[in-house]
Chain A
Amino acid sequence: MDEIASLLEPQIPALRRYAWALLRDREAADDLVQDTLERAIGRWGQRRQEGDLRAWLFTIQRNLFLNGLRQRKARGTHVGEEALADVQAPGTSPESHAGLRDVLAGLDALPEEQRSLLLLVGVEDLSYEQAAKVLGIPLGTVMSRLSRARARLREFMETGRGSALRRVK
């Protein structure tokens, strides 16, 4: 038990940050982290063979997040409309004039696969190899997807428009 705690707990702040960036809701984010930790504890033996604890935990958490999304979609949540409501039109917020548009709004304008990649690489400091593992894609795809994600974010921050929308509660 002490071994598990001493290995898992240092990862919790990063898991909470990633979860909050995905869900933007304090309780829902901590629920996701709790589910992740419970699953990690339940499968602790499987981890040892895989080695990389950090990538493993983020993989579990992202898959749980995606499962939750699918369930919400299956229940008929209208993701698109909420997404629209959440993306501000250019120029409506005073900060946008000062060039201080919230970077989180830009993040929200990206599809999940790009959002997760930006968070895992740019914020959580996962290596490109770890990110490839978490997302289940080849390394080359990581680099091109990262390139697209950053271009899109940049475009959004300049114009306030993103071509893909999302916001899920």
Chain B
Amino acid sequence: MTGERPIGEDDLQAYVDGRLPLSRREAVRAYLDDHPALADQVGQEIEQREALRARLAFKAAEPIPSRLRVANLMAAQRRPPRGRPAAIAAAVAGLLVGGVLGAAGMAWLSTGPSRVAETSVSNNAIAAHRIYVSERLHPVEVPAEQEAHLVQWLSRRVGKPLTAPNLNAQGYRLIGGRLLPDSGEAAALFMYENAGGNRLTLYARSGGTDDQTSFRFESQADVSAFSWIDNGLSYVVTAKADRAQLLPIAEAIYRQFEATGDPAKGRL
């Protein structure tokens, strides 16, 4: 029997919620009979619980707006849901294999179902790359000398914490960045340059509903791009390079964001 256990605040709360087993309920009731002031408080709490339920009941009884219909939401996303928690891990593993086997080894890293939204982001990123890397006078809005300001500003406008990855090991140094519009949202463009004057851009914008996706490769004329989504951000790294050259750079960028990523990542 549980009758010997002293009454606790957990018993009282479960009593208010009507969640006590019968025997315990009787024990609490007997206790309250001996403590009228407390019984009065408990009575009020039960009343207020009911009042809150009654006050909010109308909302759950309303017809659901059509914009919240799951079919409509899924149609708006224009692609099937892809919950693949291990996608990035698999992608990175694939990249490592790809590094050994060469481009042929990468073939299995396919693009999966249609990715309309991602395609539009990478198209915008490639277009921005083409326009700005050829710019000699004003390739960036804010130069690398003001990196802290640049990163803070772009993070605020994009709405997520960004960093400008360090690509020294890949032979590229940051020359600056700029803010761009992308389908009504803010996008950040970081630009890098190597000793040979070849320029590379990293494009980042808020990534929509997906949490993370695998790497996706795209080549348009002489320009190649890797894109992915991680931690709610869409990234596109673009350069005048072939897949094998761009791959280690994309991987380095991914790893740097992974290392500095949000500690709450993946916890939702």
* Interchain pairs with CB closer than 8 A, number: 129
A55 at the interface (CB under 8 A from B): no
In the bound complex, residues from chain A placing their C-beta under 8 Å from that of B9 are 143-144, 147
**B127 near A: Cβ within 8 Å?**
no
Indicate whether B114 reaches chain A with its CB closer than 8 angstroms: no
> What would 22 A/B residue contacts be, using CB atoms closer than 8 Å?
A1-B71, A13-B62, A13-B64, A17-B60, A30-B65, A33-B68, A41-B70, A42-B82, A47-B83, A59-B268, A71-B159, A102-B55, A104-B52, A104-B55, A119-B56, A121-B17, A143-B9, A143-B13, A144-B9, A150-B13, A154-B41, A157-B48
Given contacts A1-B71, A147-B13, A150-B16, contact A12 B64 (CB under 8 A): yes
Nearest residue, chain B, Cβ from A74: B156
Q: Does B255 contact A (CB under 8 A)?
A: no
B193 at the interface (CB under 8 A from A): no
Residue from B49, B61, B64, B84 within 8 A of A122 (CB atoms) = B49
Which chain A residues in 103-143 approach chain B with CB under 8 Å? Answer: 103-104, 106-107, 118-119, 121-123, 128, 140, 143
- A143–B17 alpha-carbon span in the complex (Å): 11
Contact partners of B19 in chain A: CB under 8 A: 128
CB-CB under 8 A from B17, the residues of chain A are: 121-122
Residue contact B159 to A16, C-beta cutoff 8 Å: no
Q: How far is the CA of A12 from the CA of B61 in the complex (A)?
A: 11
Binds B, one of A2-10, A78-86, A87-95, A161-169: A2-10
Which residue on chain A has the smallest CB distance to residue B8?
A: A143
Hey, which chain B residues are within 8 Å of A48, CB to CB? 83
CA distance A165 to B268 in the complex (A): 27
**CB-defined interface of B201-214 with A at 8 Å, one 1/0 digit per residue?**
00000000111000
**CB-defined interface of A27-50 with B at 8 Å, one 1/0 digit per residue?**
000100110011101111111110
**B73 adjacent to chain A (CB < 8 Å):** yes
| Interface residues of B, count at CB 8 A | 43
Q: Do residues A14 and B60 form an inter-chain contact, with CB atoms below 8 A?
A: yes
Which residues of A have CB within 8 Å of B51? 103
CB of B100 within 8 Å of the partner chain: no
Q: In the complex, what's the smallest C-beta–C-beta distance from A43 to chain B, in angstroms?
A: 5
Contact with B along A13-29 (1 / 0, CB 8 A): 11011001100000000
Q: A8-B70, A38-B77 provided; 7 other pairs, C-beta below 8 A?
A: A1-B80, A5-B70, A9-B64, A30-B67, A107-B52, A119-B52, A144-B9
Cα distance, A59 to B211, chains bound together (Å)? 16
**Residue from B81, B82, B210, B268 within 8 A of A4 (CB atoms):** B81
B68: A residues at CB distance < 8 A: 12, 16, 30, 33-34, 37
User: A60: CB under 8 A from chain B?
Assistant: yes
Indicate if the CB atoms of B81 and A42 lie closer than 8 Å: yes
Tell whether A16 pairs with B55 under 8 Å between CB atoms, given A9-B64, A37-B68, A44-B81: no
Could you say which residues of chain A place their CB within 8 Å of the CB of B41?
151, 154
| A44 to B73 Cα, complex, angstroms | 14
Is B45 part of the binding interface, using a Cβ–Cβ cutoff of 8 Å?
A: yes
Which B residues, 32 to 58, have Cβ-Cβ distances below 8 Å to chain A?
41, 44-45, 48-49, 51-53, 55-56
Closest A residue to B75 by beta carbon equals A1
B5 on the interface (CB 8 Å rule)? no
B69 interface contact, C-beta 8 A: yes
